[in-house]
Amino acid sequence: RLQSSYALRYKFRGSINFRYENLINSERGFPDFSKSSIYNIRWSHTQDAKSNPSSRFSASVNLGSSRYYQQSINQLNASNFLNNTLASSISYSKTFAGEPQVNLSMTATHSQNTNTEVINMTLPTLQGSVGRIFPFAPKTGSKKGMIQNINFQYNLRGENRIQTTDSLFFKKEMFDEAKMGVQHNIPLSTNFKLFKYLSITAGTSYQEVWTFKTIERTFDQATQQLVTTENKGFDSFRTYNFSTSLGTTIYGMFDFGKDKKLQALRHVIRPTISYSISPAFSQYYDTYEVIDADGTTSDEVEYTRFEESIFGIPGNNFASSIGLSVSNTIEAKVRDRDTTATDPKKIMIFNNLNFSTNYNIAADSLKWAPVRMTGGTSLFNNKMSVNFGATLDPYALDNNNNKIDKFNIDNGGSLFRLTSANLTFNYSLNSKSFERKDSRSDDAAVQESINSGGRADDLFGKPQDFADGRFTGQDEDDEEDTGPSPLYSNEIPWSARFAYAVNYNNSRRQSEISSHSLMFSGDIDLSKRWSFGFSSGYDLKSKGITYTQLRFERDLLSWRMNFTWIPFSERSSWNFFIGIKSNLLKDLKYDQRRQRDRSL
């Protein structure tokens, strides 16, 4: 094992950790004897933000054998055992200030699935961008109208993607199937006001893709098989599209009078209609004929030679659609329970209530997309958040529960079919949630003193509340401490979180609850240095307790001690740790883990 930390003041800091293990099973000569090796590399590097603001280098590497955390004797901890992904990233970026600003970056990434042992890497990813340019805008002053708001950008992205496995890692075969490509993108847009209240945005995007590998397909009549030939060399294709949107904001106010408990309702509606179009780029498509053994053509199949492109393929279908959406916020003004308050209290009824759908002009059937509804609100002084959603399909189902091109209402049903719905509650509270607040402020006491014939200034001393003989603004520390000693009145801070989620699915008349769960977690400071935490849940559908974890921690000033326990399930285990907090002495520690025997 190799472990080290490094730092250069005001420049950078980092750490590296390399672990290598030889695993030997049974004894040499026995049939179950086996020998293997596993490794893991962790590297972290961060640069001080002030050392060079225009140039930055960072690294976060977690690379190793796919089964390292599952097979390692020294790493049987729950968090790593349950993690099935190893990920790494090394990046360098440079910014060239000016008008426009230019940004360049180079990144190497790695993602490794420890279950399938598949490794995906980009070595490297090159990105560049030129800041937004307004060619027709005045050099000083604000931009007005459609022409002055015309702007464009330039974005560049190049990648070299590699997919391999543990056994071929950094071998010649790993680089043979690498895929390279470069993508150029130039978006152009503008926005302006129409009739003062309507906001219009319009934009088009030009994209060019370079690739270094294409394919050619033919059908071998003799073998009756498809033959795919890879052609290495430079090739490219170009696409473009156009979109526009029209939106406005409508404010509605319903006043019920200041003497009512519900004084007013405020409704803000933001409707938007959008249109997008993309042509068919059939010039990049070819065909091959499927010929039967008797020489007759049975089929003609269309394909594009850019199917291996990492940045997608040119579209072969004409697309044209209209999008419709409406977002709402609703809030109320109510009379405050505090009778001394002069201003009404604002309550948000719906933080958001949104509806959206679209109409596909180019489709030959099922032109309307399902209506998606989402919403959310807060209750109990924002302690509870409620979010909900539903999908409403306008089309009917046939006897086989397949969607048909006929409206549900024309088929004898309702206007929409409820195909899915979801509801979540999140509630959090802590030890301060139940503290009573003194509704009598100093300002109210001063006003009461004035009403009783006193003065607001201190000419005759501080205003006195004749109800309890207490002076306004009097420090509580000046009063004699008649309460219990701090030993018995020590506060115990705590927090708790509850979540409830349910999902309903009825896309093919199955009408089922797909998931139904209750989750809860909390933390409590038993004393100034003792803390306890827990997390668990209950699956209401499968009638079982979900992943449960208990945590105990003790702050020992320069030291830290904790105990984590997973009491049941196949991942049941416990972990005890005590060590020094300082990074310089973090190797002075005792770490003991115990996991359930998987052979039982």
Q: Is 122 exposed, middle or buried (0-12, 13-18, 19+ CB in 10 A)?
A: buried
Residue 32's CB is within 10 A of a number of other CB atoms, namely: 7
Top mean-pLDDT range of 15-29, 146-160, 282-296: 146-160
Which of these, 135, 125, 123, 127, lies nearest to 103 by C-alpha position?
A: 127
> Which pTM does this prediction carry?
0.69
Neighbours of 600 (CB within 10 A): 4
Q: What would the mean pLDDT of 140-160 be, rounded to a whole number?
A: 90
Residues 227, 221: Cα–Cα separation, whole Å: 10
Do β-strands 319-334 and 297-304 pair in parallel, antiparallel, or remain unpaired?
Answer: unpaired
Task: Determine the length of the chain.
Answer: 600
pLDDT surpassing 50 at residue 364:
yes
User: Between 477 and 89, where is the model more confident?
Assistant: 89
Backbone torsions φ then ψ of 455, nearest 5 degrees: -125, 155
Q: Is the pLDDT of residue 424 over 90?
A: yes
Where residue 437 falls among pLDDT bands split at 50, 70, 90? low
pLDDT for the residue 480: 45
**pLDDT range class, residue 153, cuts 50, 70, 90:** very high
Q: What's the alpha-carbon Rg for the chain, to the nearest Å?
A: 34
Query: What's the CA angle centered on 546, arms 378 and 516, to 5 degrees?
Result: 50
What is the Cα–Cα distance from 473 to 32, expressed in whole angstroms? 82
Among 252, 268, 266, which Cα is nearest to 353's? Answer: 268
Separation CA 447–CA 103 (nearest Å) = 61
Q: In this predicted model, what pLDDT tens digit does every residue of 173-182 receive, in sequence order?
A: 788 888 899 9
Confidence label for 27 from pLDDT (cuts 50, 70 and 90): confident
**Mean pLDDT comparison of 40-44, 220-224, 498-502, 527-531, highest-scoring range:** 498-502
- Report the alpha-carbon distance of residue 527 to residue 556 in Å, rounded: 12
As a whole number of angstroms, the distance between CA 17 and CA 42 comes to 5
C-alpha–C-alpha distance, residues 351 and 377, integer Å:
5
- The pLDDT confidence band at residue 489, using thresholds 50, 70 and 90, is low
Distance (Å, whole) CA 448 – CA 457: 13
Mean per-residue pLDDT over the chain, rounded: 84
Tokens of 272: 């938007």
CA–CA distance from 282 to each of 210, 219, 285, 437, 598 (Å)?
18, 21, 5, 71, 57
Instruction: Identify the top-confidence range among 99-103, 123-127, 237-241.
Output: 237-241
Tally of CA atoms within 13 A in the half-sphere of 325 that contains its CB: 16
**In this predicted structure, what is the pLDDT of residue 303?**
93
Q: What angle do CA 440, 441, 444 make, to 5 degrees?
A: 85
pLDDT at 596: 61
Which pLDDT band, with edges at 50, 70 and 90, does 471 fall under?
very low
